[in-house]
Each structure stands twice: as structure tokens, then as C-alpha cells.
Structure 1
Amino acid sequence: MSTPALGRFAKYSHTHRTVLIKWVLPLLVIALTWYAYNKGATGSLFYDDLSNLSALTNLETHEAIKVFLFDGSSGPTGRPLALASFLPHAQGWPASHITARQFNFIIHLFNGVLLGWLGYALLTLADQTSPLRSYFIALSAASIWLFSPLLVSTNLILIQRMTSLSALFGLVGLLTYVLGYRLLANHPRTGVTIQLGALALFTALAILSKESGALFPIYALVIEAGIAKSASIAVPMRRLRLGILYLLLIALAIYLIKELPNDLTAQLGHRGFSVLERLRTQPGILWEYIRLAVVPDLTAYGPFHDDVKAANSMWSPLIATSAFIMLTWLALRMRLRSPWLLFAILWFFAGHLIESTTIPLELYFEHRNYIAIFGFFLAISYYALTVPQKYLKLSASALVIYITSLWTVLFMLANIWGNPLEAGENWVRNHPESSRAAMSLSALYYEELGGESTVSRQVLDRAAEACPSCLDVRVQSLLYACGNEETAEISNRFKKLLLDARTGLGTPATLDSIYPLREFANKDQCAPVTLDQIMRLIQSLLDNPAFNSGSFGIHLHYLAALTSYDLGNQEEARRYLAAAERSGTAFNIIGLRVQMLMDQDKVSEAVGFLESKKNPSHISAQTRGYWNEQIDEMIEKVRNAANAGTE
């Protein structure tokens, strides 16, 4: 073969090898991600899965579907788009949770592709490397993100589809925004219209999946300030874009400030910390997120972090905040030569503006990093693949080894999640003070052992020793003890529970467990616990600041009314019921009021009361029809009961 022919063959071979690599590598990453995550598809349903998706078993009418979609309680918007994505899984629920979880994996894969594309678009926008190198940097960043063990809980906790679906919509809008830069030089108005229109539309869709979707315009602002500015792109209409994005940032800041209570040091009863304590705890938690994102730790990831405590001194927050300031200062010094460290920091902070600031959410959840952590992965990949040529092979090899180690941890972690008992034991061992971990494991053992409760009680009793203020594990353990322990042992359990009821931690599980305890007492199935003693427990909980306000207060007052009614104390029942009604309205509260009126043969008053409850303002317009239908059914039952009584 002649020399020119050899040259053409070499060029042809190199081109096709490059094309092959560019297609095979991403497909391999996608396949490996699916394979690893699919090991966890058989995992458990968790606390929020059950509370948000239980209605899937009863979606037999259009009205019931409307209520499910538009009356969600997960956030201010109700998150109807995210809830709609679960409708295909209603058939056979909850057995369909495996295929539902696999759908989560598909969303995660799409998000990985979008982030890889976004990373490539940002790198070419900054024009600091060749297109081929930019491609491999973006592919590496997307691979790290897809393999990151920190994101496992987002994909294996079923209800966290709200997070990933919101990200899917937001990323489409953000990617369109970045690609729109190409139009600005020759078609500035068209380019800006496409940029802002796509960002607005897909941000709205993201918000209807989860409220943190409101952060995508802030991500766009980070791109404008950190990448687009340094790239010296065409200036036309930039002020308009920046003006709108800064206005949105200011609006978000105003909202967060408005969420601040008058007294920052006041304890949030249902949380166990103040807003000030939350704010000073978050810097340390943010560093922990970064550590777990960059350095995998198989024992640290999981769904249960209710054992994370607020910082009780200023030293830890001061050190964490100072470290962020120093890192940001270093990034500012580097920004003209390389903007990627500054981009990573700003992107990370933008991603935590809602869930890690003033809103009194729980202190720690891994899924809050779902999009926020990508900037660091892009920076790691960039710096690893832009070292001097003589170090490039070594650096690239180290990056491949690092990505492989992440996948290995991901595979092992997903495999643990896919074996519920093994996972439960693992989480209880690593989080001994987590009442949620103990409650979950105890329920798994109870089901696995066919209703035999000895092991379940042991799990809960160990948790109670590690966390004496965890009332929920104490009540649940008492329930398991009913009918399975000696009377003296049950009595001792109840006395300890009553002793700590005024000071224990407030959780929904505590109240949920009192309902079956009341039923046991009504049927004399938990001797020596009586209705009088349960009433004392409820009154003690009402004296506990963690329980006597908000939805907890409504439930407790309703429970008090219900138990007083069981005891035949009508006056006390009416008093507690009135307190519940002042705080909120629900069908169970309405039903008890009607029952009490019917006991007094006040049929017309019962009907009038029900008529007054039509068209309430506290529920969405979409579900008001269903509410009114239920009220009409209750009216019909009242009239039928009255007619039956006169025959």
C-alpha cells in the first residue's frame, strides 16, 4: 500500500475509532447505570411513599383521580405533575412499586444525558478546550453524576421522583437557554425570546413537580455570571436577560426572608430546633454533602437522617463558613484563567437556596444535591483532563479509576437497598438514634415473620435506649406488646411513655400509632391500658410544644375528642372537637361532629352543619366537586338514618 493510501487509511481509522468511542462510551455508561440501579428495584416503600401514594389503590373514578392529582400535601403547589406520573402504576399498587422504581431510573438516565449535553454546551461556550476534549470532560462529569452514590436515595425512594422529574423539566429549559446563545449574534431578539420563553415554560413545569424547580432561573444566572460573561458572547439583550434573572433572585430572597419567624431563636416544636440553629447547622451539612459526593462512603448513604442534630455551638459553623469563604476567594482568584471552580461553588449554593436556608424543613436529605452537586463533578472532570500533556495519561487514568470506584460503590449500595432486611439492619446499625430506621425495620420483620412481634419489639426497644425522646418507637413497641407480653410489662411500658410524653420529639408516627392503640383499648386487647390512660397520654402530648400546634395539634385535639366520646364524656368531646375545628377541617372531624348531633336526635342541625361545609376555601377548586359529593353522601346517610329511626 502506498504512503498516501496508508495516510488516508490511518485518518479514516482514527475518525471511525473516535466516532465509535463517542457512541459506545455513553451507551456503556447508561447500561452500567441501569444495571447497578436495577439491583435496588426490589427495595422497600418508605414513609413518604406510603403517605403520598396510598390513594393509588382507590382511583376508580375521575373525581378520585382529580383529588389525587390536585389535593397533594407534599408542598405548596401540590406537585400535580409528579403525582400524575404515578397514575400508570395504580394498577396493582403497591405490588407495582418495582416497575415504578424502574421508571425512576429511566428519568435519572435522561437527566444524565441532559447534564452531559449541558456540560458540553457550557464548555464550548467558554471555549477553553477543543471540542473533542470538551466532549470527554462532559461525558466524565455526567458519568460521575450518574454513578454518584449520593444520589441513590433520589432514585430508590420512590416518591423522590418528584425531585428527578422536576429536574428533567428544568434541565430541558436550562439546556435550551444555553443553546440559545448561538442565536444571539445574528438574531438577538429571537435568541432571547427562545431563551427566556423556554426557561419560563419548563421552570413552571418543574415547579409543578416540586417547588425546588424554581431554582432553574438561578442556575441560568450562575451561567450568565460565571461562564457566559467569561466567554465574551454577543452582548445584545444581555441586560434584559440579567435584569429578569436578578429580579427572580430578589423575589426568591424576599420569599425566604418572609418565611423567617419573628423570633429566630424560638424552637420549632415539630422540628426540635430553631431557625437560627438550622441556619448555623447548614454550612457543616453542606460540607458533608460535598465530602460524600467526592469521596464515597458505603456506610453513610441512606433514607434515614432524622438523627442529625442541630449544631449546639458556634465553632463548627464558624469553621465551615470560613472554609467556604476561603474556597470562594480561591475560585475568584482563578476565575480569569479557569472559571470552573467558581462555577461549581455558585451552582452548588444556588441548588441549596430553598432547602438549606430559612424554610424550616428537616436538616438533612441527600436528594437536595440532585442537581446542585453537578458543578463540582464538571470541575473535577475539567481539571483532570486539562493538565499538561505529559501528565494527561496519568490524570485520565486516575479519573477512570475514580469513576469505576464510584460505580462499584453504587452497585454495592443498590444491591443493599434491593434487600430490604439487609438494608434495614444496615441503616439501624449506622443510625441507631433514627426512629424512622427502627420503625421501618420493625415493620419489615413483623411482615416477614407473619405477625410475630418479638424481633420487632427488640428493634424498637434498642432504638428507645439510643433515643429516649423518640416517642414514636415507644408507642409502636407498646402496640407490638399488646397481647404478646405480660400485663406488668405492658403497664411498665405505658408508664415510661407517659412520663416522657411532655418532652419527647414530635413526629407524625407518634400520633398515627395512637389511633390503633385506642382501638385496642376499646376492645380490651391491650390490658391494662384503658381509654382513661390513653386520654392522659393525649393530654400530656398536648402539653408538649412539639405536638400542640399545626397539623399535630389538629390530630391530637381530634384524638382527644374521639377518646372523650368513647368514654361518654360528651361535653369534653365537644370542647376538644371545637379546638380541632378552629385549626382545620377534615372529613373525620366533620363526621364526629355529625355523629354527636345525631346522638342528640338533632337531624336538622346535622344536615345544616353539613350544608355549611360545602365549597370550602381551604381546598383547590379542582377537588371541590369531590368534596361536595362526599358531603352530599353524608347528608343522605344522615337522612336515611333519621328515617330508619322513625319507622
Structure 2
Amino acid sequence: MSRSFRLCDFSPWLMAIACAVCIGIYLPGLSGAFLFDDYPNIVDNNNLHITDAHLSSLVRAALSSPASEFKRPLASLSFAANYLATGLAPLGWKLTNLAIHLANGLLVYLLAAALIRALPGAGPGRADRTRMVAALIAMGWMVLPINLTAVLYIVQRMESLANLFVLAGLIGYVKGRQRMMAGQRGIWLCIASLLVATAIGLLAKETAVMLPLYAFLIEWIVFRFGSANGVHNGGKKHRGLQALFALVLALPLLVGLAWLAPGLLRASTWATRDFTLGTRLLSEARIVADYVAWTLLPNPEALSFYHDDFRVSTGLLAPWSTLASIAFLAGLVATIWFQRKRRPLVALGLALYLGCHLLTGTILPLELIYEHRNYFASFGLLLAVVPWLAAPAQQTSTEAPSTLPASIHHPLPMSLPRYVALGGLMLFWAAQTAMTAYAWGNPLRLAQDLAGRAPDSPRAQYELGRAYIIYSHYDPDSVFTRMAYAPLERAMKLPDSSILSEQALIFFNARIHRPIADAWWDSLIGKLKARKPGVQDESSLAALTQCQREGLCDLSKQRMLEAFLAALSHPKPSARLLANYGDYAWNVLGDRELGIRMAKAASAADPAVPVYHVTLARQALVLGRLDEVRQQIDVLRHLNVGGSLDPVIAELTARLPAYH
């Protein structure tokens, strides 16, 4: 075969094919609807629904996210831009997510190629093979099933957008270090890549804070803090880089731990969770170990989206897989240490994977499991696996020199089995993602698919029942009406379930004017008495309140009061629960004094949330308490960052003279 015709020359075509395949796989899912957390963050977030690009509108949109105290303004602005362009039609929003994912795929290709070129033994003659391996890594990453939610779950644009800057920052850092190793000036490119990319990425999501750690791992394993002419061989270390990481990694880490530690040690921090700091760490060992299988060899049951049926670890042998997972993770750490020189790509890939989970899989009181947390981590696993599978067999002295860097050239007798394995994995990942994307293209199909994947998940069964309710259009004779009860009643009886299913059953029967079973009320109230209500419980009570306030549901006031009092019986009720009870008292019971008292309690419990002060001001206006109105307007002015509260402040101020 002619030397001019080599497979290695086709990496640009392979990337084009990868993008086309990725688009084809995700295309059926783009017709899906908004889901789950899309509603509070996008659909019900009126501050995002801008009609112009004026500064005040953009500031209001940028600071509107309820998902984080840091507001994630860049992600919110991208949502606002989607609304300005296409309104609430989900297609445009999902297309934007897909475009970001494709851009990230290109950056994965560039980063992988840069890392392979930086390895010992890489040279100009191996450039084609390097690009080919990088393209295979990018292709695999783009079609991985575990990355699907970052594309089709609109709100997870926060994750993919943050990683756009993480990947770009790492590429800049590697390029800067390559210049430095060649005796050229590159330190300022390294510094700018770390600082600027991290700062911008943080505006999309806090996970971008991990960029300096990823750069440090690359430095430790690939460049080894080497200077020009001291490349990889224990030569003089670059003191400036050591100082840089002390400033951008070690110091922020110590400050962050000092800031977080007091809160993490308080019992109240964990009061709304079904795990403690200790049981969380034990559980995350199993979860992070499971993510490896979910990434490389996933099955539909693993990628079920809902994981509320997960059994929290309460000891090393409860369940036994806890200790086994800790041993497995320890083995990965040992592999990183012992292979960092012989097989640096394997070591680096595993280090990036574990490093990615240090933020979300350790001490922070977050939900235990989410697939999208592997959006960057999955790149690490592919970096460790794909080059090994793509490496050619050892060549004899009569063969042409290998085009792979020496550190990813392995003395295996045959390449064909590994090539077949790699091709099989690619097809497997693409098929799994295509089937799941197809399900995401229709809300009912998705609910049925997820309920089938997770039969013991209360949330999955609830969402199936809820989908049937939506498709019934509240017609008592609809076939979907008959189908709704079974999954909801199943969800209601599953261990550790919230009151979502009871709320749905009560709400549904009230809307279609059917009797409400006492067993539903008893179960709802019993759960609220048994444990401190969580976000789902509070949302359920708010939904019932809204339905009754709008005259759509004729609910027992006695039963509703029992439910609220049960929820409030636990120490330190949340501001949201207090506000919900105040809403019920004011608008349903007609008890104005109780309503305003609860509004004051809510604003005192979380004084930084403007909506509680707005509610209190409007209630005080109705009662003619003008001094209280003025006090709340003053509070709102202090909270009015960038003029985002100008409209509501103007409205309240304009209404004051009417009471003089």
C-alpha cells in the first residue's frame, strides 16, 4: 500500500463523521419538552423571559437562577438569549445545547491531541497517528450515553457551558507549557488560561473551579514542572509554576475548606438529607466506582436518570460493596502513582476522572448521584482507555517506525482484537445513546422508558403517573386517567418516597371531581410528621395551595391544615415552607394576620431572597401598614443588584400614595 494512503491521514474526516453521527443520534431527542428542573430555572422563571436586550433586562435575567447562590449568570444569559430568539419552544434551546456539545467535542479532540504530543517520545513523524487517536477519543466522548443529559436536559447547559471554558483553558495551558519546554515564552499563556477560563467558566457553573486542579494533574504527570532543556528527566524544576499552583490551587483550597468546614460540621446542614457527612462519603465511594462502569459499559438500568432508590451506605459492609468500592478506588490511585511515568496517559486519565469527582463526590451536601457530573470525568476515562485500544502491535525491526508516541505504544502481539473491541464499544455507546435520545423526544415515551428502567424509584413511578395525568387532559373518561393511578399508588408505597404521589392523586381527583381517598391524606400527613419536609414535599404543598387558591380544587381545609402543621412541627422550618403556609393562610383561609406573620417569618429565615420581602410589602399595602411597606422597599433597594428589582420597587412605590 502506498505511504501516501494511510488511515492516519483521515482524522479530519473522522471528526466530521463524529459530528454527523452525534447530530444524527441526538436529532430524535430534540423534539422533547421541558422537564423537571427546567421549570423552576427556565419555564417558571419570569426574569428570564425578556423581550429586549436592555441592560436592566439582561441584569435581571443574569441574576435570576434559583439553582445556586452564585446565580450562574452566563448560563442564565444564554437561556435569556434563547427566549429572546424563540420564546419557550424547546427545540431552539436543545439545538443550542447540542451546538455546545459539538464545540466541546472539538475541544476534547484538540486537548487530547495536545496531551499526546506533549508526552515523552512524541515527535513530528507521529503527528498523524496522534491526531487519529485524539479523534477517536473525541468521537467516543461525543456519543457516550452518560453525557446525554448534558445535551437533552436543557438546564444542564450549565454543566456543558462551564466545561467549554474548562477545556479551552486546559488547551491554552498545555500550549503554553509546550512553548516553555521548547525554550519559548509561554508562562503568561498558562497564567491567562487558568485565570480567565476559570473566571468565565464559574459564571456558568461552579464546577469550573476544578480547572486549576486538572492543570496541576497535567503538569505533575506530563510536564513534571520541567523547564526548557530539563524535559521529563528530573532536570531543574520551574519554580514559577510551583508558585502559580500554590496561588491558584493550594491557597483557594485552604480558604474554601476553612469557609465550608463550620457549616459541614453542623447537624442542621444535613437535616434535610437522608445521609450524614460520614454516610455520604461511604456512599460516594460506591457511586464513583459505579460511574466507571456506567461510562464504559452502561446498561439502561444504571442510566435510569432517577436514583432515589439508591441505598445509602451506613458502614463499610452495609452494603458489602462499600468496602469493595473503596478498595477499587484505592487501586486506581495506586495505578496513577505507579504508571505515571511508564503509561502517563493512563495515569493522567484516571487522575482527571477521580479529580473531577473531588468537588461533587466528597464533602458537599449535594444530591448523591447525577450522570451529568461525569461530563468532564468521562473524558479522563476515555483518555486512559482509547489510546491503549488504538495502539498498534509491536513492530519488528523490518517494519516502519511506530507513529504512536513511545509512552502509548504497547508490546502486544496483535492489534486486531483491540481494534474490534474499540469499534464495538463505539457502536455500543452510539446505539445506547440513540435509543435513549429517541425516548427523550416524547414526554410520555420518556416517562415510560425511565419508569421501566427504575421500577423501585418513587420519582420515576411518580413521573409516569404525572405524564398520564397530563395526557388525560383531566378527562375522567380518558384511557390515560385509568392508567395514572397504578404508578402513583405504587410510588406512594415505595420506601423513602416523598409526598409527591399523594399530592398528585389528591390534586388529580379534585380536578376531575372524584372522591379523595382518606388513605392518600393519611399517607401524606404521616410522611410529613415522620421526617422534616424536603424540597419535593414543600413543592407538593405549594401545588395544592395554588390549586385551591385558583378555585380548581375543592380540598378539605382541615386536612390541609393538618398537613401544614405536620410539616411545621420540625425544628427550623425553611423559609419556603413558611411562605407556602402564609400563602395558604392569606389566600385560602382568609386569615390576614397569620398570613403576614408567616411572610415575616419567611423573610427573617432567608432575608436575601427578594420575593419574600415583595410579598410582605404587598400584604402590608392591603392592610394599610405603610411604614412596613416603606421598610420592605428599603430592604429591596439594598438587594437591588444591577437594577434587577427596579420594576417591582417602582410598582410598590407608585402604590404608596393611594394610602395617604
TM-score range, shorter chain: 0.7 to 0.9
Matched to 2:17, the amino acid is L
RMSD: 2.8
| Distance change >3 Å, CA 94–CA 420, structure 1 → 2 | farther
Instruction: Give the 5 Å matches for 1:89-100.
Output: 89-91=82-84, 95-100=88-93
Distance 1:468 1:457, change over 3 A: farther
Q: Hey, what does 2:213 align to over in structure 1?
A: 218
Closer, same or farther: CA 131–458 of 1 in aligned 2, 3 Å: same
Residue 465 of structure 1 deviates from its aligned partner by 1.8
Q: Tell me the equivalent position of 2:169.
A: 173
Paired residue for 1:536, among 562, 568, 573?
562
Distance 1:606 1:77, change over 3 A: closer
Question: Of the candidates 271, 275, 281, which is equivalent to residue 273 of structure 2?
Answer: 271
- Matched residue, 1:280: 282
- 1:289-300 aligned at under 5 Å gives the runs 289-300=291-302
1:110-147 Cα shifts (integer Å, max 9, x gaps): 11121112111111111346333322222222222112
**Match for 2:530: what amino acid?**
T
Contact 1:207 1:213 in 2 (8 A): yes
Please, which of 514, 517, 530 is the counterpart of residue 490 of structure 1?
517
Deviation of the 1:608 alpha carbon: 2.7
3-state secondary structure, aligned to 2:306:
coil
Aligned to 2:406: none
SS at 2:517's partner residue?
helix
Q: What does 1:388-403 correspond to in 2, within 5 Å?
A: 388-389=394-395, 390-403=413-426
Task: State the distance in 2 between where 1:437 and 1:636 align.
Answer: 47
- The SS at the match of 2:415 is helix
The letter for the 2-side match of 1:474 is E
Determine if the alignment matches structure 1 residue 616 to structure 2 residue 616.
Answer: no
**CA drift at 1:444:** 2.6
Distance 1:596 1:416 in 2: 46
1:385 to 382, 390, 393: 390
Distance 1:226 1:561, change over 3 A: same
Deviates more, 1:533-542 or 1:152-161: 533-542
Measured after TM superposition, the shift of residue 638 of structure 1 is: 4.1
- In structure 1, the gaps of 5 or more residues are 1-9
Distance in 2 of aligned mates of 1:433 and 1:357? 26
CA offsets 1:318-360 (integer angstroms, 9 cap, x no match): 3211222223324433333212222122111211121111111
* 1:626 aligned to which of 644, 647, 654: 644
Give per-residue Cα distances to partners, 1:152-191, cap 9 Å, x unaligned.
1111111111111111111111101111223214655x31
Task: Determine which of 76, 82, 103 is the counterpart of 2:75.
Answer: 82
Which residue type is aligned with residue 38 of structure 1?
A: L
Q: Which of 429, 444, 448 is the matching residue for 1:425?
A: 448
Matched, 1:639 2:657: yes
Q: TM-score, normalised by structure 2?
A: 0.86
| 1:402-421 aligned within 5 A | 402-421=425-444
Which string of whole-angstrom CA distances, capped at 9 and with x for unpartnered residues, describes residues 353-411 of structure 1?
Answer: 21111111100011111111212212212222334344023322322222222212222
After the TM superposition, which residues 55-70 of structure 1 pair with which residues of structure 2 at under 5 Å, given as runs? 55=45, 58-60=49-51, 62=54, 63-70=56-63
Q: Is the 8 A contact 2:459 2:491 kept in 1?
A: no
Cα deviation, residue 630, structure 1 = 0.9
Partner Cα distance (1:94, 1:434) in 2: 33
1:6 corresponding residue in structure 2: none
* Residues 561, 376 of structure 1: alpha-carbon distance in 2 compared, 3 angstrom cutoff: closer
Name the structure 1 match of 2:40. Answer: 51
Report deviation, 1:522: 5.4
The answer to whether the 8 Å contact 1:304/1:431 transfers is: yes
Q: From 55, 64, 73, give the equivalent of 1:71.
A: 64
Instruction: Provide, for residues 430-455 of structure 1, a one-character-per-residue CA deviation record: whole Å limited to 9, x for no partner.
Output: 22343443343333323323233443
Matched, 1:33 2:22: yes
CA contact (8 A) 1:457 1:481 kept: no
Partner of 1:242: 242
Choose from 570, 577, 587 the match for 1:556: 577
Structure 2 unaligned regions, length at least 5: 396-412, 476-480
CA distance in structure 2 between the aligned counterparts of 1:516 and 1:93, rounded to whole angstroms:
28
Q: Which amino acid aligns with 1:320?
A: S
Distance in 2 (CA, whole Å) between partners of 1:505 and 1:422 is: 34
Question: Which residue is equivalent to 2:364?
Answer: 359
Q: Does 1:125 align with 2:118?
A: yes
Question: Contact 2:207–2:359 (CA<8 Å) still a contact in 1?
Answer: yes
**Map of 1:135-154 to 2, 5 A cutoff?**
135-154=131-150
1:507 is aligned to 2:513? no
What does residue 402 of structure 2 align with? none
Contact 2:9/2:128 (<8 A) preserved: no
| 2:488 aligned with 1:460 | yes
| SS in structure 2 at match of 1:406 | helix
CA distance in 1 between counterparts of 2:10 and 2:550 reads 70
> How many correspondences in the alignment?
618
Alignment of 1:7-18 (within 5 A): 11=2, 14-15=3-4, 17-18=6-7
The answer for the alignment partner of 1:108 in structure 2 is 101
Could you say if the C-alpha distance between residues 95 and 471 of structure 1 is closer, same or farther in structure 2, counting changes exceeding 3 Å? same
Residue of structure 1 in register with 2:509 after alignment: 481
Q: Name the CA distance, whole Å, in 1 between partners of 2:511 and 2:439.
A: 34
Structure 1 pair 180–627 and aligned structure 2 pair: CA distance change class (3 A): same
Deviates more, 1:319-328 or 1:111-120: 319-328
Q: Which region of structure 1 is more displaced relative to structure 2, 55-64 or 285-294?
A: 55-64
1:498-527, Cα deviation, whole Å (9 max, x unpaired): 122112473333323323423554577645
**Pair 1:223–1:324, CA change in 2 (3 A):** same
> Does the 8 Å CA contact 2:225/2:237 hold for their aligned counterparts?
no
TM-score normalised to the size of structure 1? 0.88
Superposition deviation, residue 562 in structure 1? 3.1
Confirm or deny: 8 A CA contact 2:469 2:508 kept in the other structure. Answer: no
Shift of 1:599: 5.2
Residue 100 to residue 388, structure 1, CA distance change in 2 (3 Å)? same
Shifted more, 209-218 versus 468-477: the winner is 468-477
The offset of 1:238, in angstroms, is 2.4
Distance 1:88 1:521 in 2: 35
Instruction: Identify if the C-alpha distance between structure 1 residues 408 and 616 changes in structure 2 by more than 3 Å, giving closer, same or farther.
Output: same
Q: Which aligned runs of 4 or more in structure 1 are off by greater than 6 angstroms?
A: 234-237, 264-267
Q: 1:463 to 1:208 in 2, by over 3 A?
A: same
* 2:291 alignment partner, SS class: helix
Q: Secondary structure at the match of 2:368?
A: coil
Identify the match of residue 334 of structure 2 among 329, 344, 358: 329
